[in-house]
């Protein structure tokens, strides 16, 4: 199995506050890695480090063997990583289709000059891009609402648009930040199936931040647990669920002491 993402001793400090502390992580191609941990453990910060939002304080990040530690966000997308946001950051004033077309930005060509001259090649490119974008929307069941303004949609549909947008970037590694946020139980079931579909049918390697154990545990090949910036456990879902440190992190030392 080829290694897709490797993180070595990554640390991110904001002044005195160390949000991510000496974390190692490896994801193999085709796998799903779940990243869990209590609130404030540093999961989203780690995401931000990987995707280039924050420059890391120390450590290295490799993608497909290539060092991407210092790359900016937009270049990282070109390498084959794309993410969704926990708080849903679609482009509110753009249409659904335009949102997905932005996702395709790195997979299209066309600069200002081409736009001004309206060359036939550019027009053909735009047509191709639109068709592809509609295809992604269709996969998410949103194709019929392609021209709706993104902000006019209900929350769940906005989520779908965000995923379609990330898919449109055609990443090899998809980073999902709490995709189940705001979902109920039945929606979570669908989400689990959906993540599996992304992994198997769409052939995406997935790094998944989740709070909802019902979503993570059935789906993840491996799970990594962060607490206060440090990795405290790693392994298969079963291994991690049984780990004393993990239970302690979530429920507190007193609880564990009582149990024993």
Partner 1 sequence: MMKWFPRKINLKWILFFASLLVPVVVRSPFILHVIILLGIYVVLTDALNFVTGFAGQLALGIAAFVTIGGYTGALLMLNNDWSFWMALGAGGVAGFLSGLILGVLSLRLRGDYLGMVTLGFSEIIRIVAINLVGVTRGPMGLPGIPRPQIFGYTFRGDVPYFYLLLALIVFTHVTIERMLFSRFGRACLAIRDDESAAAAMGVEAYQYKVLAFCISSAYAGLAGVFYASWTTLFSPDSFQLVDSIMITIMNTLGGIGSLLGTFPGAIVIGALPEIFRPFTTGAGVASLRLALVGLFMVIVLNIRPQGIAGMSIDPVYISLEPIRRLFVRGGEDAKENKEEAQ
CB of 207 vs partner 1, minimal distance in Å:
15
Does residue number 184 form part of the binding site for partner 1 (CB under 8 A)?
Answer: no
Span interacting with partner 1, options 5-13, 116-124, 199-207, 250-258, rule CB under 8 A: 116-124
CB of 205 closer than 8 Å to CB of 172: yes
Distance in angstroms (rounded) separating the CA atoms of residues 41 and 52:
19
Dihedral class, residue 70 (left if φ above 0, else alpha if ψ from -120 to 50, else beta): alpha
- Report the b/e string of 171-198 with b at 16+ CB within 10 A: bbbbbbbbbbbebeeeeeeebbebbeeb
> Which one of residues 108, 143, 181, 228 is an interface residue with partner 1 (CB under 8 A)?
108
Choose among 169, 188, 211: nearest CA to 75. Answer: 169
By beta-carbon proximity to partner 1, the closer residue of 90 and 195 is 90
Check residue 257 for interaction with partner 1 (CB under 8 A): no
8 touches 193 (CB < 8 A)? no
Of the listed pieces 54-62, 82-90, 199-207, 214-222, which binds partner 1 according to CB under 8 A?
82-90
73: contact with partner 1 by CB under 8 A: yes
Q: What is d(CA 192, CA 194) in angstroms, rounded to the nearest whole number? A: 5
Q: Judged by CB under 8 A, does residue 80 bind partner 1? A: no
Q: Is 169 among the residues that bind partner 1 (CB under 8 A)?
A: yes
Q: Which is nearer to partner 1, 6 or 105 (CB)?
A: 105
**Residue 237 to residue 222: CA distance in whole angstroms:** 6
* Site for partner 1 contains 173 (CB under 8 A): no
Binding site for partner 1 (CB under 8 A): 51, 53, 72-74, 77-78, 82-83, 85, 89-94, 98, 101-103, 105-106, 108-112, 114-116, 118, 122, 126, 129, 165-166, 169
């Amino acid at each position: 199995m080829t290694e897709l993402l490797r993180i070595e001793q990554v640390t991110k400090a904001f002044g005195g506050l160390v949000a991510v502390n000496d974390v190692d992580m490896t994801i193999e191609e085709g796998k799903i890695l779940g990243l869990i941990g209590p609130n404030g453990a540093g999961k989203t910060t780690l995401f931000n480090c990987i995707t280039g939002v924050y420059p890391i304080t120390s450590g290295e990040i490799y993608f497909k063997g290539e060092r991407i530690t210092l790359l900016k966000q937009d270049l990282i997308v070109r390498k084959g990583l794309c993410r969704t946001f926990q708080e849903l950051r679609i482009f509110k004033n753009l249409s659904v289709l335009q949102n997905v077309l932005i996702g395709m930005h790195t997979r299209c060509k066309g600069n200002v000059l081409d736009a001004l001259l309206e060359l036939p090649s550019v027009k053909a490119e735009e047509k191709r891009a639109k068709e592809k974008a509609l295809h992604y929307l269709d996969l998410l069941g949103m194709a019929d609402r392609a021209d709706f303004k993104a902000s006019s949609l209900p929350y769940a549909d906005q989520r779908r648009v965000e995923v379609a947008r990330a898919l449109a970037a055609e990443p090899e590694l998809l980073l999902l930040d709490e995709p189940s946020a705001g979902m109920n139980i039945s929606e979570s079931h669908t989400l689990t199936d959906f993540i599996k579909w992304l992994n198997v049918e769409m052939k995406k390697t997935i790094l998944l931040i989740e709070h909802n154990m019902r979503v993570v545990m059935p789906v993840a090949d491996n799970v990594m647990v962060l607490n206060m910036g440090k990795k405290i456990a790693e392994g298969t879902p079963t291994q991690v669920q049984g780990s004393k440190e993990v239970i302690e992190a979530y429920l507190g030392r007193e609880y564990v002491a009582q149990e024993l």
